[in-house]
A and B are shown apart, each in its own frame.
Chain A
Amino acid sequence: MLTAGAKGTADGAIERPAPASSLPPALAACHECDQLNDVPALPPNGAARCCRCGGLLYRNPANCIEKSLALTLAAAFLFVVANVFPFMAFGTGANMVHTTLASGVVSLWQEGMVLLSILVFVTSILAPAIQIAGLLYVLYPLNAGRYPTGAEPIYRLVIGLGPWSMMEVFLLGILVSIVKLISMAEIIPGVALWAFGLLIITLAWANSTMEPRVIWMRVEELREAQRA
C-alpha cells in the first residue's frame, strides 16, 4: 500500500491491451482543463478531443510505430548528410567562405559569444541529434516486438526535448539570411542545404505519424510481456 509522501507507483486505471489497429476505449484526463473523458475505441487515423475545451487528447495514426521508424531512419541519414557536407559558400571570385551547418556555432564561440553559441548548438544540432538517436533506440526494437531496455527515460527525454529542437526555425533563418545576402555577393548552395530542407519535411511528416500514447502503450505491453 502507498502511504503519504512515499515514492511509489500510483494505481493504474483500467486499460485493456491494444489490438493492432484500433485503440481500446480509455479514460483520458485533458491536459488543458482536467476534464475526464470516456473515450470510445479509436479507429485508425482517428483523433479524440476533449468534450469541454476541445483540446486534442490523443490520436491513433495508422501503423504509427512502423511509419515513425522508417521516417526516423530517413531523418538520421539526412541529418548526417546535412552536418557533414558543405552547406553554403559565400563571397566573390577567389574570396569564397565555405561553411558547414556548424560553422555559425564555431564563429560565435570564437567571437566570445559563448552563450549564444551554446543556445544555437543545442537548438539546431544537439537536441535534434539526441531526439533522432533516442527514437531509433526505442522504435527499432519496438517495431521488431522486443522491449528496449531503458526505453522509459530515453523516450521521456525525446519528448521533453521537443520544444528545444528548432531545425525548422533554423531553416527559416537560413532563407531570410540568403535574401539578405543575395545582393551583396555570390551564394552557392551546398549538398547539406538540400539535405537540410528534406530533413525538415521528413521530420514534419514523422511528427504527424508519431503519437506518444501509442508508443508508450506498446512499450508497456512489451515490458509486461518480457516480465511474464
Chain B
Amino acid sequence: MTTARSRGLAGCHECGMVSRLPEAHGHYTCRRCGTALHFRKPNSLSRTWALLIASFILYVPANLLPITHTTSLGHTQSDTIMSGVLYFISHGDWPLALVIFTASVAVPFMKLVILTYLLISVQRGSTHRYRDRTRLYRITELVGRWSMVDVFVVTVLVALVQLGALANINAGWGAVYFGAVVVATMFAAESFDPRLIWEPLDNPHESAS
C-alpha cells in the first residue's frame, strides 16, 4: 500500500489535485485552486478533542433546559427536547416521534460517542477495523446537520404561534445550547482527519502522531 505522504505528495481537499510538498512543515497552496495543502489536517487531534469536550458540556443544558415556552390562556408550559418526543408518543404519532427522537436525541449523542471512540482508537494506534471506522466517520459527517431540525421547529413555531391571548410560543435557552451543540460537533467532525485512522497500517513501527 502506498500513501500520498510516503511519496511526499498531498491530495488537495477541494479539487483533488495531487501535489508534491518539498517540506513537511512548509506552507504550500494548490496550483489549481489555491487551497492550503497539508499532509494531514493541522492539530487535528487536539482541535477535535477541544470541540468534542465543549460539545459534551453544552449537551447537558441543551437537554435539561426548555426549548420552548408555550403560553395559552394565561397558562405557561415549558418543553424540553425530550418532552417534545413524548408529546408525539402520547398522541400516538409514532413515525414523527421517531423522526424527532432520531434527529435530536440519537444523532447528536451517537455523534459524540463515535467521535470520542475514533479519537481514542487513533491515539492508541488501534489496528482494528480500519474500513469500518472510516465508514463511521463518513456517517457522522453526513448525518450531523439533521440535528438542526429541532432548532428550525422552534423557529417556525415562534414565527407562527403569535395569537395573543389564545396562544403564544417563545424560544427557550435550551434551543440556544442545542444549536451550539450542533455547531460544535460539526466543527469537531470537520477538524478530525480520517487519514489518522490508517496510520498504524502506513508505518507499522511508529505510533500515531
Q: Is A144 an interface residue (CB 8 A)?
A: no
Contact between B25 and A5 (Cβ–Cβ < 8 Å)? yes
- A92-B163, A103-B159 known; A174 vs B17 contact (CB < 8 Å): no
Among B1, B11, B100, which residue has the most Cβ atoms of chain A within 10 A?
B11
Of A62-70, A78-86, A110-118, A202-210, the one contacting chain B is A110-118
Contact between A32 and B137 (Cβ–Cβ < 8 Å)? yes
Q: Is the interface of A mostly helix, strand, loop or mixed?
A: mixed
Closest CB in chain A relative to B105 CB, distance in Å: 14
Residues of chain B with a CB closer than 8 A to A52's CB: 1, 198
Contact between B14 and A156 (Cβ–Cβ < 8 Å)? yes
- A173-B153, A185-B163, A219-B33 known; A32 vs B138 contact (CB < 8 Å): yes
Among B31, B33, B34, which residue has the most Cβ atoms of chain A within 10 A?
B33
Contact between B29 and A7 (Cβ–Cβ < 8 Å)? yes
- A35-B1, A119-B183 known; A4 vs B159 contact (CB < 8 Å): no
Q: Is A33 an interface residue (CB 8 A)?
A: yes
Of B48-56, B111-119, B142-150, the one contacting chain A is B142-150
Q: Which of A15, A28, A113, A174 contacts B156 (CB 8 A)?
A: A174
Chain A residue at minimal CB-CB distance from B173: A113
Within 8 A of B (CB), among A5-43: 5-13, 15, 26-36
Closest CB in chain B relative to A125 CB, distance in Å: 11
Closest CB in chain B relative to A11 CB, distance in Å: 5
Q: How far is the CA of A107 from the CA of B161 in the complex (A)?
A: 11
Q: How far is the CA of A180 from the CA of B150 in the complex (A)?
A: 12
Contact between B155 and A216 (Cβ–Cβ < 8 Å)? no
Q: How far is the CA of A101 from the CA of B100 in the complex (A)?
A: 22
Residues of chain A with a CB closer than 8 A to B20's CB: 10-11, 13
Q: Is B162 an interface residue (CB 8 A)?
A: yes
Contact between B26 and A13 (Cβ–Cβ < 8 Å)? no
- A33-B195, A53-B130 known; A169 vs B148 contact (CB < 8 Å): yes
Residue-wise, chain A 89-121 has the 8 Å CB interface mask toward B (1 for contact) of 011100101010001111110010101100110
- A173-B155, A181-B157 known; A115 vs B145 contact (CB < 8 Å): no
Within 8 A of A (CB), among B163-200: 163-164, 166-167, 170-171, 175-176, 179-180, 183, 186, 190, 194-195, 197-198
Contact between B32 and A220 (Cβ–Cβ < 8 Å)? yes
Of B2-10, B58-66, B120-128, the one contacting chain A is B2-10
Closest 6 CB pairs between A and B?
A173-B152, A29-B11, A216-B15, A104-B155, A29-B4, A104-B159
Q: Would you give 24 A-B contacts (Cβ < 8 Å), ordered by A?
A: A7-B29, A9-B28, A10-B10, A12-B17, A13-B9, A28-B11, A29-B3, A30-B11, A34-B198, A36-B9, A36-B18, A90-B161, A95-B163, A111-B158, A116-B154, A155-B33, A156-B33, A166-B148, A169-B145, A170-B148, A173-B148, A177-B153, A177-B156, A212-B14
